[in-house]
Amino acid sequence: MAGKIDPSHLQDPALRPIAEKLGAGQRLTPADGLALYATADLLGLGLLADWANRRKNGDRVFFSANQHINPTNVCVLRNTCTFCSFARMPKEDGAYTRSLDEVFHEAEQARGMPTREFHIVGGLHPKLRLSYYTDMIRGLKQRHPEVHIKELTAVEIAHLARIERTSERAVLLAMKEAGLTSLPGGGAEVFSTAVRATIAERKLTGEEWLRVHRTAHELGIPTNCTMLYGHVESAEDRVAHLGMLRALQDDTGGFLTYIPLAYHPDRNELGEEMGRVGTATTGYEDLKNIAVARLFLDNIPHVKTHWPMVTPFLSQIALSFGCDDVEGTVVYERIYHEAGARTDMHLPYLELVRLIRGAGKQPVERDSLYRAVREQFDDPPPEPALHRGPTLPVVHAA
């Protein structure tokens, strides 16, 4: 259990009343959230977030052995989600749609790896039917019965409901019956109507995104949640977004983890308009978004750092800024690499273990439901971080 917060470590006086509230177990208000975003005392903010995280998770840091699969990049929102570099029109150069056999073939890599989760998201394809996805889930479960399936964002679920002229509930139920475990948290972007009008004009609204997740929770399907930050949104927009996630979690308890997603500006219209090509978010901003989320989302058990976006180096530091959950092995990632991420596609399992241990934390391999599946990693023993000198571990792809 974390001890008391020592206010003398906080440089910014605005953080002291917030520290008192946290110590007294009081919930932070939107004004507190704005004060956290406004502070220049990053270490003070990190101290508070680390304290809040230790109270929930102690020294344990979760990671998963997962494989990302993107069955199609064809998306009817191609021309209106201006932040996205992944989507293509059906006949555009680079457009692809995998047959089920191709998806099963890609998933075969799991046999040589310790994979426990397939993370599957794609575009809003105008023709792919619900049966494509339910057959995919059934086929994957047949071939890899132990592997959990986390598939389709709320936006894709709503799109399928429109195509099938049915309800989102019916789509979710069909996917659950086929073997779905959980939903990923993408598509939330920033809930503000004004921001969505600029970056995702025709996408599901914030209310609709929340409705799909509420329905999933009612059906016993846990989900993740996200926020895409570092583009045109304000601190007020971010705090309002976190407030809406917290309110839904109060009602349902169905969110497993929150993942702040750092905007990458290459090869997309928004990045060009903002003159941001080649300049992703800063480490300062990334750590701040992790820490504020850990403090504000007092009812969501985990906060995950997505290393493909912010680098394994920053993800390791994030473990002292409120994070207890690291994106997994991934294997092959397309969405952020299309948008300029320069990280490796894959982080080997033991590199993840070493990264977590190198931060002085206790690695815990988890399944999609955050049940611990492995906590001892002595075969072969990872190199102790203390022997590596002052630099952070270098991470190589397998």
Q: Which residues bind ligand V47 (CB under 6 A)?
A: 83-86, 121, 153, 184-187, 189, 224, 226, 228, 259, 261, 263-264, 268, 306, 335-336, 339
For residue 179, what are its two tokens?
A: 């073997």
For residue 258, what are its two tokens?
A: 């929150």
Return the number of the residue (61 or 261) whose C-beta is nearest ligand V47: 261
Return the number of the residue (15 or 248) whose C-beta is nearest ligand V47: 248
Q: Which of 282, 75, 102, 256 has the alpha carbon at shortest distance from 183? A: 256
Q: Which of 161, 118, 169 has the alpha carbon at shortest distance from 142? A: 118
Return the number of the residue (53 or 153) whose C-beta is nearest ligand V47: 153
Residue 124 CB, nearest approach to ligand V47 (Å): 12
Residue 91 CB, nearest approach to ligand V47 (Å): 21
Return the number of the residue (44 or 71) whose C-beta is nearest ligand V47: 71
Q: Which residue is nearest to ligand V47 (CB)?
A: 186
Q: Are the C-beta atoms of 116 and 149 separated by less than 8 Å?
A: no
Return the number of the residue (32 or 233) whose C-beta is nearest ligand V47: 233
Return the number of the residue (107 or 228) whose C-beta is nearest ligand V47: 228
Q: Are the C-beta atoms of 69 and 120 separated by less than 8 Å?
A: yes
Residue 54 CB, nearest approach to ligand V47 (Å): 23
Residue 212 CB, nearest approach to ligand V47 (Å): 13
Strand partners for 262: 229
Strand partners for 259: 226
Residue 227 CB, nearest approach to ligand V47 (Å): 8
Quickly count: other Cβ atoms within 10 Å of residue 385's Cβ: 17
Return the number of the residue (118 or 336) whose C-beta is nearest ligand V47: 336
Residue 13 CB, nearest approach to ligand V47 (Å): 35
Return the number of the residue (184 or 206) whose C-beta is nearest ligand V47: 184
Q: ∠ at Cα 27 (24, 29), nearest 5°?
A: 125
Residue 241 CB, nearest approach to ligand V47 (Å): 12
